[in-house]
Amino acid sequence: MLFNSFDFGFFLCLVYALYWLISVKRRTAQNGLLLVSSYVFYGLWDWRFLFLLVGSSLVDYLAGLALDKTDSKGIRKLILLSSLLWNLGVLAIFKYYNFFLDSFSNLFGLELTAGYAFWNIAIPVGLSFYTFQTISYTVDVYKGRIKPTRNLLTFLCFVSFFPQLVAGPIERARDLIPQFEHKRKFDYRQSIWGLRQILWGLFKKVIIAEKLGLAVSLVFADPGGYHFISIIYALLLFCFQIYCDFSGYTDIAIGTARLFGFRLSKNFNLPYLSRSLTEFWQRWHITLTRWFTDYVYVPIVQSVPKATKGRKAWGLFLTMTLIGLWHGANWTFVLFGLFNGLILIAERIPIGGKPKYFLRYLNRTNPLVSMLYVFLVFCISALLFRSTDVAQVIEIGNRIFYLKTDGAFNSLIGYKIWYLPAMLAVEWLTREWDFPLQYLERRMPRLIRWVIYYSMIFIMIRYAEPREAFIYFQF
């Protein structure tokens, strides 16, 4: 069930009505409705994977309770290790089994397919997101950062809350669980703001991302048939396609949660205005960056009494490589992570005896120059991210590097590209607010606001392309 479908609209209206018809004093009944709704929402993708979702939830719920009952360091480590083995094992089997087996067979020239059956099954939607959410819960309980919840219903809701189940934001237990434990009072203003944020997210997805995606897909389907300028143009379009697609999804998720009285974490903060790649990753997919920082990078650096430059560099390199691999079982994603890791090391680790950081230089130089640098780095990353395999990366790289002009040359998307600068200008002008349409509430008369809202709805209905899944649904 796609967020940009009428099916989801009907589903959301039904759940919303039932949720608030239940008395606010009956918190358990509201949580029960949210849990059933979340399982229905997820089951409509593939009901078989519901068992995996419930199984992962129960493993970490029980792990949390077990950790709370013992003070033995050995037993606590064993409980944590068991939880990690389950979660990472499920992730490895369903998402990476074919990738590692195929890579192993290619590396050693073995024909493993003759004797071993490959895991021919779809990747469970949202697996990477809810797995990381449950891992963070168990690790936080183990380290004493939070107390485990004893309410099974609350924990199941925390793992499977449908607005953010499929593609985040990746929430921490300390932020989301208390919201299920407290009463939610109906707030008309929050519902209105939620609907406006959903509208803004849909607009970015339907009008910007999907239209840019048509042009990008044409080029990447046959890069050898396009002029090198057209290929560069397609890469630029993809940078904005993925931003509008994923930030649009996040707006819909946060807006939907608002309707039910929940606050989800902010996941994007105008990343293309960053002045360094370090700052970019603090503004792009914020909850994922924080997760890897807290649960991968920091433990690596703090594993020794005094972290050396080499230890910090290794931490950055490994963390970004894992972030790349998290995105998908493909060598292009591994290269994506490696490339970003090397750039971050260059920015943050001083070379030689003097503490001269490239990051310090970027922060002192002209803002436009540093932002162009970040966008250039992201365009190279986009090539690695969007390409289907390493061979396509090489082919596109060759056509750009050698300025190949033997292919088609066209603008790909035409006059409709004006939507993009208009949308970006609106987001920049309203950057002090959670989302642009929130700004209208305070600054414009009601008549003008409603004209804008209905114009956006008309444009989406009139110019919508065939519905496509959000890009991050595949991760």
Residue type, 105: S
The reply to whether omega before 169 is within 30° of 0 (cis) is: yes
Contact present, 251 and 201 (Cβ < 8 Å): yes
Letter string b/e over residues 417-447, b meaning 16 or more CB atoms within 10 A of that residue's CB: bebbeebbeebeebeeebbbbbbbeeeeeee
Q: Which residues contact residue 278 at a Cβ distance below 8 angstroms, ignoring those fewer than 6 apart?
A: 344, 347, 348, 359
Q: Are the C-beta atoms of residues 331 and 389 closer than 8 Å to each other?
A: yes
Outline where 72-181 has alpha helix (H): 73-91, 97-108, 127-142, 152-160, 162-165, 173-181
User: Are 162 and 53 within 8 A, CB to CB?
Assistant: no
CB distance 447 to 440 below 8 Å: no
Q: At a CB cut-off of 8 Å and minimum separation 6, what does 233 contact?
A: 411, 412
φ, ψ (nearest 5 deg) of residue 42: -75, -40
Residue listed under structure tokens 């607005």: 163
Amino acid identity of residue 353, one-letter, is G
Is position 327 annotated as part of the catalytic site?
yes
Q: Which residues contact 197 (CB under 8 A, 6 or more apart)?
A: 251, 252, 254, 255, 258, 434, 435, 437, 438
Instruction: Quote the DSSP letter at residue 402.
Output: T
Q: Are 216 and 385 in contact (CB under 8 A)?
A: no
Catalytically annotated residues:
327
